[in-house]
Chain A
């Protein structure tokens, strides 16, 4: 526990030091980034201790706030969530020292360090007021990070939607903690076990408050509208931290609070599953249609959160139905996917950031052929792509493997129409896996491979050593996760045991061990090496000649002839996806014999935001403005208000 305080101390000092107006921004970067790296290191040690220790380390300090107490609790579940936080924080800090442009860097590092501190505090808080305090500090610091480049109007708009969504979510959390505090007498989590004695309907209302409150921060389907705007607006290592970790603190909150609520009825799990699978399908469908790389990755975060929610919902559902093996598999799958997603999504965001850093723009239409000029970044993005599509040697497959096994086991075991639901989920999950493949091959194929589409892409320069080393570290972690799935299961086991005590024996035993996955990953690498050596052996003697790509007789192939981002996903849109998701495209259809200059504009705004939330808020604002005529401006009416208020009060007092 004291390593955690050490990390907070270092981060806090770093934040203050970086806030001071130093002469050269180099010092700020060193101070801020350095303190972030050191803080994360000591945080990692604390997380490690938390994972290894059997009993939870608690710390309590009387805090002068009414109803609040500065009490922390570092148990297996908190340590499990601290792990990705400090890994991604460390790597992000290293990356940020080079990525952050000079003039914007000053306050950036203080917000970054404070974000890390507040996220760590959210995960270890053991008192309702402290939890909300840290929760809102996390939202505020991330808001200030999102609007780092506040001179761009769309960045400010994204920041505003983000702040709005988190605040509405926080209102639901306020309601939850206050009701819980009212029932249990105090806001300490220790006294929240009284919640388990609640009757059905009240517990359900609390659960719904939890889902809306944490859902709006986790980017769960209907409340995800801020995510595709906010994450791309932030600097890349901050988007990595937000997508990889901050979204997971919401899942942590949901899990921690659900562990206090009474035994969940089946429909809770059902609700989470339906939201999860719709979110996954919606997220990945939208990800396939975005021109902006980071926006596409943000949508893929919505998809992965959907998958995690599907797994956790299925865990609740099958625990309520009494299938413990299936529940253990689903829980393991959910938590492992959560950890893996933190790693490979951060890798992808850092890669996208370095692409933007090198080629100067986030638009896929202006990238192309960056692999030749940025080999390391290219390789890292390919590794990240393989991990996110759950392709074998990487860690993405481990989480999905557990989820599939849970669905399969329950699909095979349930008789009658009960088995219908998990099987349908398997079908959808497979569809999502296929679409993920489309998204990643699109990003890699259009951005990295092929012919550069703009002069800036032609002169793209490779990232410096900090950015490269950050990405390499994450890629190695992903590969290690894929090759040694046992370690992943052991780490998640610590957290899962706390959430689902009666599945403890399963996590220890051999029933759900992914041992073979590791072996197959090694075998795959062996087979690849063998095939590669065979290829080199056969090619060794023959000469390698380079020529232009075979263009079926075209003499001068240009970059405009290769597939573009829109055309890549066009077949998927028309073939698979439903019409409500099709993006707006003002196509430049040529009419007449001598068409003038035509342009083709294509953008895919979020349909939920455009078709539901924006009209709703506009209409509400319209009503409010109409009611404002009460303030009509002439004094007589105001006098009438006073007079009628007096008379009304007199009558009311008279009646009582």
Chain B
């Protein structure tokens, strides 16, 4: 338990403080590409703060599950964040086999968001729930294959050790498969957090949405908690991608943290670039692409096993 209370505080500070900033950066990059000024960096902070203060309007057909959706949506990313290292800051909790808990934790949030969507009884939420549940079912094998490759390289089964110091050394030994996993993890992050190639976060056409349409009926503090949870989830998965991409540790804690934050912002810019360059894929192509990605990650494992 080499984690000290300071590191835990730093961990939570990064989680709560930094997560809304990423969507601000993405918004700014897309605006830059589109030649417009775009919303300020801190737009999401203001939205969440505003929503926490507003009143609540809920549908007559809903039950307690509708109110439980946002609660789980907020609690799950916080707990997931405790399991993974933020750059140099080690994971507060790490035990052998926590990757399984990590994956099924996100399963819990998916379960409640889908049920909350179905609770309103409207066809749009139903559509969103079906898509969310079906596509995530294809993404899970990819996550597991990524974790197996890392477990095989690091020799341990806890996320903290997998994304820990051994990562830098393994880049030299198994660079090609690590590169493949990086791509796969990046795509999974895009799928899970409703970014452009798979889902359009700020579209208004319900037929094309996946995540947005599920939260259509939420309002006030509930909507705030959902947006904040989504941002934190984006940060958690982003942290994994960045950790994979920048395994270097310079020994000085402050410099490493700055490097980590820079990596995150750079990733946000990359996603912003992708979103402005690509359009949303047709809905039927997404399962094929997801299966392709899981085969890719499986192939990277074969590269390793050879």
Asked if A and B touch directly (CB within 8 angstroms), the answer is: yes
Interface residues of A (CB under 8 A from B): 368-369, 371-372, 375, 378, 382, 385-386, 389-392, 397, 400-401, 404-405, 408-409, 411-412, 415-417, 419-420, 423-424, 426-428, 430-431, 433-435, 437-438, 440-441, 444-446, 448-451, 515-517, 519-520, 523-524, 527-528, 530-532, 534-535, 538-539, 542-552, 557, 559, 561-563, 567-568, 570-572, 574-576
Report yes or no: A445 in contact with B100, Cβ–Cβ below 8 A.
Answer: no
A542 CB contact (under 8 Å) in B104, B105, B115, B221: B221
Report yes or no: B104 in contact with A391, Cβ–Cβ below 8 A.
Answer: yes
Report yes or no: A415 in contact with B126, Cβ–Cβ below 8 A.
Answer: no
**Chain B neighbourhood of A546, CB < 8 A:** 57-60
**Chain B neighbourhood of A534, CB < 8 A:** 74, 225
A391 to B221: give the CA distance in the assembly, Å.
26
Report yes or no: B108 in contact with A386, Cβ–Cβ below 8 A.
Answer: yes
Is B17 engaged at the interface, CB distance under 8 Å to the other chain? no
A542 to B294: give the CA distance in the assembly, Å.
46
Distance in Å from the Cβ of A180 to the closest Cβ of chain B?
40
* Between-chain CB contacts (< 8 Å), 30 pairs: A369-B121, A382-B115, A389-B111, A390-B107, A392-B104, A397-B104, A401-B101, A404-B100, A411-B152, A417-B305, A426-B141, A427-B141, A430-B103, A433-B107, A434-B136, A437-B114, A441-B129, A446-B118, A450-B118, A524-B105, A524-B108, A538-B52, A539-B220, A544-B57, A544-B58, A562-B122, A568-B130, A574-B284, A575-B138, A576-B138
Is B274 engaged at the interface, CB distance under 8 Å to the other chain? no
0/1 interface trace, chain B 30-47, chain A, CB 8 Å (1 if under): 000000000000000000
A23 to B261: give the CA distance in the assembly, Å.
79
Distance in Å from the Cβ of B281 to the closest Cβ of chain A?
13
Is B248 engaged at the interface, CB distance under 8 Å to the other chain? no
Report yes or no: B79 in contact with A545, Cβ–Cβ below 8 A.
Answer: no
Distance in Å from the Cβ of A77 to the closest Cβ of chain B?
26
Of residues 119 to 141 in B, which have CB atoms within 8 Å of A's CB atoms? 119-124, 126-127, 129-131, 133-134, 136-138, 140-141
**Chain B neighbourhood of A390, CB < 8 A:** 104, 107
A452 to B124: give the CA distance in the assembly, Å.
17
Q: A426-B148, A438-B134, A571-B134 are in contact. Are A539 and B221 (CB under 8 A)?
A: yes
Report yes or no: B57 in contact with A545, Cβ–Cβ below 8 A.
Answer: yes
Residue of A nearest to B298 (CB): A427
B138 CB contact (under 8 Å) in A382, A428, A434, A517: A434
Is B256 engaged at the interface, CB distance under 8 Å to the other chain? no
Q: A449-B119, A450-B121, A550-B217 are in contact. Are A400 and B100 (CB under 8 A)?
A: yes
Report yes or no: A441 in contact with B133, Cβ–Cβ below 8 A.
Answer: yes
Report yes or no: A543 in contact with B144, Cβ–Cβ below 8 A.
Answer: no
A530 to B75: give the CA distance in the assembly, Å.
8
Q: Which of A369, A420, A538, A549 has the most CB of B within 10 A?
A: A549
Report yes or no: B137 in contact with A532, Cβ–Cβ below 8 A.
Answer: no
Report yes or no: B140 in contact with A449, Cβ–Cβ below 8 A.
Answer: no
The 8 lowest CB-CB distance pairs between A and B, nearest first, are A434-B137, A563-B126, A445-B118, A450-B121, A516-B95, A527-B75, A538-B221, A542-B55
**Chain A neighbourhood of B197, CB < 8 A:** none
Report yes or no: A408 in contact with B151, Cβ–Cβ below 8 A.
Answer: yes
Is B72 engaged at the interface, CB distance under 8 Å to the other chain? yes
Is B222 engaged at the interface, CB distance under 8 Å to the other chain? yes
Distance in Å from the Cβ of A581 to the closest Cβ of chain B?
15
Residue of A nearest to B156 (CB): A412
Report yes or no: A437 in contact with B107, Cβ–Cβ below 8 A.
Answer: yes
Distance in Å from the Cβ of A440 to the closest Cβ of chain B?
7
Q: A516-B95, A539-B56 are in contact. Are A562 and B105 (CB under 8 A)?
A: no
Q: A412-B152, A531-B75 are in contact. Are A430 and B141 (CB under 8 A)?
A: yes
Interface residues of B (CB under 8 A from A): 52-63, 65, 67, 70-72, 74-76, 78-79, 82, 93, 95-98, 100-101, 103-105, 107-108, 110-111, 114-115, 118-124, 126-127, 129-131, 133-134, 136-138, 140-141, 143-145, 148, 151-152, 155, 157, 206, 216-217, 220-222, 224-225, 284, 287, 294, 298, 301-302, 305
B127 CB contact (under 8 Å) in A382, A389, A549, A563: A563
Report yes or no: A445 in contact with B104, Cβ–Cβ below 8 A.
Answer: no
Residue of A nearest to B304 (CB): A419
Q: Which of A382, A424, A530, A535 has the most CB of B within 10 A?
A: A535
A434 to B62: give the CA distance in the assembly, Å.
25
Distance in Å from the Cβ of B161 to the closest Cβ of chain A?
12
Report yes or no: B97 in contact with A441, Cβ–Cβ below 8 A.
Answer: no
**Chain B neighbourhood of A441, CB < 8 A:** 111, 114-115, 118, 129, 133
B100 CB contact (under 8 Å) in A378, A405, A438, A568: A405
Q: Knowing that A368-B121, A392-B101 are A-B contacts, what are 7 other residue pairs whose CB atoms are under 8 Å apart, sorted by A's residue number?
A: A411-B152, A431-B141, A450-B119, A528-B71, A531-B75, A545-B58, A576-B138
Q: A423-B301, A431-B137, A450-B61 are in contact. Are A444 and B115 (CB under 8 A)?
A: yes
**Chain A neighbourhood of B111, CB < 8 A:** 385-386, 389, 391, 437, 440-441
**Chain B neighbourhood of A559, CB < 8 A:** 121
A520 to B100: give the CA distance in the assembly, Å.
12
Distance in Å from the Cβ of A265 to the closest Cβ of chain B?
24
A225 to B174: give the CA distance in the assembly, Å.
47
Report yes or no: B305 in contact with A419, Cβ–Cβ below 8 A.
Answer: yes
**Chain B neighbourhood of A520, CB < 8 A:** 79, 93, 98, 101
**Chain A neighbourhood of B108, CB < 8 A:** 386, 391-392, 524
Report yes or no: B130 in contact with A531, Cβ–Cβ below 8 A.
Answer: no
Report yes or no: A549 in contact with B122, Cβ–Cβ below 8 A.
Answer: yes
A369 CB contact (under 8 Å) in B55, B61, B143: B61
Report yes or no: A575 in contact with B287, Cβ–Cβ below 8 A.
Answer: yes
